[in-house]
């Protein structure tokens, strides 16, 4: 079950800003000579790198990354990575580190993904890489499991 405190936190937190801290991509020469008989596999990763709470300012920020790698036979042929700093205001709200971490791994992930998807699509266009766009992000809650 989600705690009452966490629900109160969700009601009082406001998105304040977004900064791109890092953006990179790499393409292997082999990408343009791929074996058409072998499937290209796409792997999407997300992670929280750092969380910083400023009690006096009633803000917190998180550095998070998205990365997608395109592989064939265990070799990475194309990779796009972005690191974002997201800043939130939280009004009159005492929040545990666990609640902020939960927020970062769910709400922030869903909030930032469209920015990363756009960045990925733009890199593919600029690099003349013919790959399909990333799909929408689906976060499916676990059924029958009690939340902390």
Residue 14 neighbours by CB under 8 Å, 6+ apart: 88, 89, 90, 91
Tens-of-pLDDT digits for all 148 residues of the chain? 567 788 888 888 899 999 999 999 999 888 888 777 778 899 999 999 999 887 677 888 999 999 999 998 888 999 999 999 999 987 776 677 788 888 888 888 888 999 999 999 999 999 888 888 888 887 776 665 555 4
Structure tokens at 63: 């550095």
pTM score of the predicted model: 0.81
Phi-psi region of 6 (alpha: psi -120 to 50; beta: other; left: phi over 0): alpha
């Amino acid at each position: 079950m989600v705690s009452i405190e966490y629900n109160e936190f969700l009601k009082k937190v406001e998105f304040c800003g977004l900064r791109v801290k890092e953006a990179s991509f790499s393409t292997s020469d082999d990408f343009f000579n791929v074996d058409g008989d072998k499937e290209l596999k796409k792997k999407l990763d997300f992670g929280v790198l750092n969380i910083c709470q400023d009690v006096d300012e009633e803000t917190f920020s998180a550095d998070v990354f998205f990365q997608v790698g395109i592989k064939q036979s265990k070799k990475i042929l194309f990779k796009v990575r972005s690191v974002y700093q997201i800043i939130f205001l939280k009004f009159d709200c005492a929040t545990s580190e666990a609640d902020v971490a939960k927020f970062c791994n769910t709400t922030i992930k869903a909030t930032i993904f469209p920015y990363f998807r756009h960045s990925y699509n733009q890199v593919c266009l600029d690099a003349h890489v013919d790959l399909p766009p990333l799909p929408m992000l689906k976060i499916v809650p676990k059924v029958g499991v009690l939340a902390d």
